[in-house]
Amino acid sequence: MACNMKNLVYYLDKPGGSFTPVEEDLPNPGPGEIMVRTRRTAVCQSDVVIHKQGLARIRQWPAIILHEACCQVEAVGTGVTAFAPGDLIGLGCDIPCPDRHCMYCGENGTGDWTSCPQTHATGHEFPGFARSHAILPDWFVQRGPIVKFHPEIAPDHACQLEPLACCLEGLTRVNNCIEKRVVVLIGSGSQSTYALQCALAMNARKVILINRGAERLERVLRDFADPRVLGLRWDDQIVSRVFEECRPFNEPHFVMVTAPCAPAYELAVQVLGYGTVLDGHAGVKGASGKPRIAQTVDLNNDIHYKLQCYQATHGSSMHGIRRAHALINEKRLPRLDCMTNATERFHHSQIQEALARSADSDSLKVIIHWD
Ligand SMILES: [Zn+2]
Ligand SMILES: [Zn+2]
């Protein structure tokens, strides 16, 4: 049946290069495998970086990038019972390594895939979804980050599973720091805007959004307006204004750094108070590598007596994927469509244009259509 089927694959020839569409034969799924058809891919900022300058983890060029995807199951191999043709599925980016005995990724592992020395990710070691179809191998089908959506969930929402999962890893790594509490988000890009929506869905008392540039901050405040959301321009009064806005509390309960720059970290530590959890969510990387951002911590007065917590999250595990799946599937993110406006939608023949739009300073989430 599938023996005459073709797969349209867009290969990125080299860092800074261009995409070439290639038609390849598409085999039937083998035992334990599933064949999926790509419905939507969303563009991650990491795709923009890979496209511009490559990534050490991608060893093979030409490469198939794009890792935020939702797909429809087209055919299943013998022995597959968890999925059936017609299922709408969403996929995570970080995936288990193929070793089923791995202490991190295996059947009895911790599930901390991003800690595995052989860590795998879609669009890096595993080919991404810049292709019309994919065959997912048996280990991916059994242990990978695949979730099935309710048939009435829009593919435009399902394809945002992965970035939402990353953000939810940060919001939920420590229990009880969002509900009824004050959340500060430094930066107003897509991860921050996902965090804003999730924090509201998780019943945060107040969300304070801090950004340098006015353009994107205004877009987020307009499209995601809520009585509990407040935007602050990042000026030299910012620290005292954050503390003022936390009243009747003295300080925020959760501070997330989503802007990938040293000043964002330097600001974050200045607004910590009693019981604050700091999530270093955006790494800082420049042309000369990853700079040291030094901070003196008083382990007794700040950590012990003030119960402060320093944490970081990047990537996602099944924990974040399950939470993101629940929020999308239960339609608890009513503004999700505002992440993508008409200028942020592209056909799969325009991957290059989609990546360029994603790099714009006012852009939130670019979606590529494959139907
Ligand atoms: Zn991503
Ligand atoms: Zn592993």
User: How many angstroms separate the CA atoms of 343 and 363, rounded?
Assistant: 9
User: How many angstroms separate the CA atoms of 9 and 26, rounded?
Assistant: 11
What pLDDT was estimated at residue 104? 95
What pLDDT was estimated at residue 114? 87
Distance 68 CA to ligand 1 centre (A): 6
pTM above 0.85, yes or no: yes
- Residue 235, amino acid: D
Cα distances (angstroms) measured from residue 359 to each of 47, 234, 338, 356: 10, 22, 18, 5
Strands (E), the chain: 6-12, 19-25, 34-42, 68-76, 88-91, 94-95, 120-121, 133-136, 146-149, 182-186, 206-211, 229-233, 254-257, 277-280, 309-312, 345-347, 367-369
Where do the H-state alpha helices sit in 85-174?
A: 138-143, 155-158, 161-172
Distance 327 CA to ligand 2 centre (A): 28
Return the ligand number nearest the Cα of 47.
1
Which ranges in the chain are annotated with CATH 3.40.50.720? 174-312
- Exposure of 316 by Cβ count < 10 A (0-12 exposed, 13-18 middle, 19+ buried)? buried
Distance 11 CA to ligand 2 centre (A): 27
What pLDDT was estimated at residue 42? 98
Residues less than 5 Å from ion ligand 2, measured at CB? 97, 102, 104-105, 116
Distance 193 CA to ligand 1 centre (A): 14
Residue segments in the chain with a per-residue pLDDT below the cut of 50: 2
Return the ligand number nearest the Cα of 366.
1
Distance 151 CA to ligand 2 centre (A): 32
- Residue 303, amino acid: I
Return the ligand number nearest the Cα of 103.
2
Return the ligand number nearest the Cα of 50.
1
Structure tokens at 231: 């935007």
Distance 267 CA to ligand 1 centre (A): 25
CATH of 2-164+316-369, picked from 3.90.180.10, 3.30.565.10, 3.40.50.720, 3.40.920.10, is 3.90.180.10
Distance 69 CA to ligand 1 centre (A): 9
Distance 75 CA to ligand 2 centre (A): 27
Structure tokens at 279: 């999530």
Structure tokens at 189: 């890009």
pLDDT in tens, 282-324: 999 988 889 999 999 999 999 999 999 999 999 999 999 999 9
DSSP per-residue codes, 14-66: STT--EEEEEEE-PPP-TT-EEEEEEEEEPPHHHHHHHHH--TT--SSSB---
What pLDDT was estimated at residue 2? 46
Cα distances (angstroms) measured from residue 290 to each of 94, 212, 284: 21, 22, 6
Distance 102 CA to ligand 2 centre (A): 5
What pLDDT was estimated at residue 249? 96
Distance 92 CA to ligand 2 centre (A): 16
Distance 6 CA to ligand 2 centre (A): 32
Return the ligand number nearest the Cα of 161.
1
Which ranges in the chain are annotated with CATH 3.90.180.10? 2-164+316-369
pLDDT in tens, 183-232: 999 999 999 999 999 999 999 999 999 999 998 999 999 999 999 999 99
Residue 183 contacts residue 167 (beta carbons within 8 Å): no
Return the ligand number nearest the Cα of 125.
2
Return the ligand number nearest the Cα of 129.
1
Structure tokens at 264: 């964002």
Return the ligand number nearest the Cα of 44.
1
User: How many angstroms separate the CA atoms of 279 and 7, rounded?
Assistant: 41
CATH of 174-312, picked from 3.30.1490.190, 3.90.1170.40, 3.30.420.40, 3.40.50.720, is 3.40.50.720
What pLDDT was estimated at residue 3? 55
Distance 42 CA to ligand 1 centre (A): 8
Distance 315 CA to ligand 2 centre (A): 15
Distance 195 CA to ligand 1 centre (A): 14
Q: 3-class DSSP state for residue 231?
A: strand
